[in-house]
Amino acid sequence: MSEKLKVGVIGATGMVGQRYVTLLADHPWFEVAVVAASAHSAGKTYAEAVNGRWKMQAPIPDGVKELPVLDANDIEAVTSQVDFVFSAVSMSKDEIRKIEEDYAKTETPVVSNNSAHRWTPDVPMIVPEINPEHSDVIKYQRERLGTKRGFIAVKPNCSIQSYTPALAAWQQFEPTQVIATTYQAISGAGKTLEDAPEIVGNVIPYIPGEEAKSEDEPLKIFGHVDAATGTIVSADAPTITSQCLRVPVLYGHTAAAFVNFKQKPTKEELVAALESYSGEPQKLGLPSAPKQFIQYMTDDFRPQVRYDVNFENGMGISIGRLRPDKIFDWKFVGLSHNTARGAAGGAILCAELLKAQGYITKK
């Protein structure tokens, strides 16, 4: 691109906002032009606003250190300077739904990390390798919002990234039932191990709202755009049940999953389907796309967070321990990076896809 698109990050001072800022530092298509947060941070430089609470291992990028933090509620001030925004605001769901629609109605596309709009019927919830065609629903959303350019797109919950890509690769074998137990990193709660003494040497068996997301969101991803209603209709299968636990790990969500299939694939067929699976991001060569979306690991002791969470810069999925089960057909272990693929990185890849599809353009 000869000229980068100007991006605003709203909710820029939180952990996901910090990850956005870090990942966008040298992006070939996008440039952070605005950082916005709560009124408490407004008026400070970005470096001042995150002083003492910078959670990334990389330093604050030079390009944003001295940017003034705007009030995320001052929508006109933000949108007048950007082509689109990433949303990582921390508010109630009703407040998030309203502010994201208010941004979209200024003809500013919103790519959101938040869950508030995931079940809005005409808002696409995209994993770019799996359901890029769901962006087709944007035209119906624009009709509802009364916009020509503005819209909202969301990325799904971080917990599903460690097993849903495998289910996508295995769609030809028609998965019917899935059990998924996830072991989720503390950064998923916006904390580090230092911020969360309650997790050290501990496992917490409940993450509010997470199990419903883990069970239902894959079905929207596997669904289809219905032109008659202008909405996304969820798939009927597979039936998914889950339990979600918080564990003393900084980055990386691990899943132990069990699957039944209508067809009866062999292990060789399942592994081949994983290793050969790719999608539009790979075909288009999008900047954040992993070359290998899913890797299969033959060592029984892998995948491990310590060694594998950063596969493909955290944008790839690692699957291992695929073996027959006594009750289900097959079982496996999956691993994904929860703040790269599962949060900011997944949203950036979604924005790249939407740009390539012509939905995000220069104002």
Say whether 158 is catalytic.
yes
Same domain for 145 and 204: no
Work out how many domains the chain is built from and give that number. 2
CA atoms of 240 and 226, how far apart (whole Å) = 23
**Which stretches in the chain have pLDDT values below 70?**
1-2
| Residue 134 CB partners (closer than 8 Å, separation 6+) | 124, 125, 126, 221, 223, 225, 232
Q: Is residue 361 part of a domain?
A: no
Same domain for 294 and 190: yes
Determine the pLDDT at residue 1: 42
Q: Tens of pLDDT along 77-93?
A: 999 999 999 999 999 99
CA atoms of 179 and 181, how far apart (whole Å) = 7
Same domain for 346 and 322: no
Q: Is residue 54 part of a domain?
A: yes
Same domain for 167 and 137: no
Query: pTM (2 decimals)?
Result: 0.96
Same domain for 225 and 252: yes
Task: Tell me the H-state helices in the chain.
Answer: 15-23, 46-49, 62-65, 75-79, 93-104, 138-145, 164-169, 210-221, 267-276, 280-284, 305-308, 345-356
Same domain for 64 and 165: no
Same domain for 184 and 71: no
Same domain for 314 and 169: yes
CA atoms of 87 and 235, how far apart (whole Å) = 27
Same domain for 315 and 195: yes
Same domain for 205 and 172: yes
Q: What is the CATH number of the domain that holds 79?
A: 3.40.50.720
Per the rule left: phi > 0, alpha: psi between -120 and 50, beta: everything else, 329 is alpha
* Candidates 117, 134, 158, 350; catalytic one: 158
Residue 64, domain extent: 3-154+342-355
Q: Is residue 330 part of a domain?
A: yes
* Candidates 117, 134, 244, 253; catalytic one: 253
